[in-house]
Amino acid sequence: MLLGLCAALGSAQAQQATRIVVPFNAGGGTDQYVRLLAAELTKRGMQTIVENRPGASGIVAADYVARSQPDGLTVLVSSLGTLANNTVLYDKLPYDPQKDFAPVSQIAYQPAIIVGRTDLPYKNIKEMVEYAKKNPGKINRGSPGAAILTNLAPMSFEKSLGISTTHIPFSGDSPAVQALLGGNIDIHGTSITGSLPHIRSGRLRVLGVMDSKRMPQVPEALTFKEQGFDLEATLWYSLSVPAATPKDVIQRLNRAVNDVIADPQFVEKAQAIGMEPRGGTPEQLAKFIQVEADRWLPVLQSLNLPKQGR
């Protein structure tokens, strides 16, 4: 009887936990950061678990959250891909990015980078471009998904220079990094988080940083601009909930998340894995998403990519 009661209570508590749904496999950079955030929220009294639902450039996770109860207990880790780019890349989406979600808060950002193995015949982006011109089609480039900025920015870059690589999309950053380490791909568009341990071990190197300044985690890595290429691309991460979620619930979530993000100890832990925490109000996030969509959707449309099905 007592065991049954305890099990029932445990089940009820689990049902009340806030689930943050990550659209990538466990182990990648986004997943690592969200788990840090979830652990801190739990310490502060908001029981939080992380649920990974990778697949179809974030569509699997986004559709799942869009159909969830609008009670603030199911939260999507959203980004440019799920909230904008998928509308161009796919014939039909099971969710509407503008109508089916309400913004909660930004949570972090980091510059996009290109990493490669240390046994490649090029050590930076400038040398890679020269190699690609002499060896068209011989570079296999991975990404965490077709609609993600770490694919779109390199594609736009390649098009502007008249070079091409063979794009191989993965369902998240972690499997792509493993493929890179295994020699199945040559370079990978990513963030610093998932690849940092392998950079420090000497197995991978950063070929170029898509930012106006170098990264403190890899100060020796040159930016694209330092190598003569005018390219900046910032990865950003936010939280969204089903559109019908009450405003007071959204505000409580927003306050809880921003309290964590403002904590100096949390910031230090985040920066150690290559993330820069950044919060804000739901209204600020909504405006930011629109600005980013206005910048990157025309780039995506100019690539004339074939529409994908599901």
Asked whether 153 and 296 are in contact (CB, 8 A), the reply is: no
* Helix residue spans in the chain (DSSP H): 2-16, 29-43, 59-66, 80, 86-89, 125-134, 149-161, 173-181, 192-200, 247-261, 264-272, 282-302
Tell me the pLDDT band of 309, cut-offs 50, 70 and 90: low
SS3 content of the chain, % helix, strand, coil (to 5): 45, 20, 35
- Distance, C-alpha 194 to centroid of its chain: 11
Beta-strand relationship, 140-143 and 166-169: parallel
Q: Is the pTM of this model over 0.85?
A: no
Give the model confidence (pLDDT) of 101-111 as tens digits.
Answer: 999 999 999 99
> Of 65-69, 186-190, 212-216, which gets the smallest average pLDDT?
212-216
Tell me which long-range contacts 292-298 makes (C-beta under 8 A, separation of at least 24). Answer: 292/80, 292/84, 292/236, 293/80, 293/83, 293/84, 296/80, 296/84, 296/85, 296/149, 296/152, 297/84, 297/85, 297/87, 297/88
Give the model confidence (pLDDT) of 45-77 as tens digits.
Answer: 999 999 999 988 899 999 999 999 999 999 999
Average pLDDT value for residue range 135-141: 94
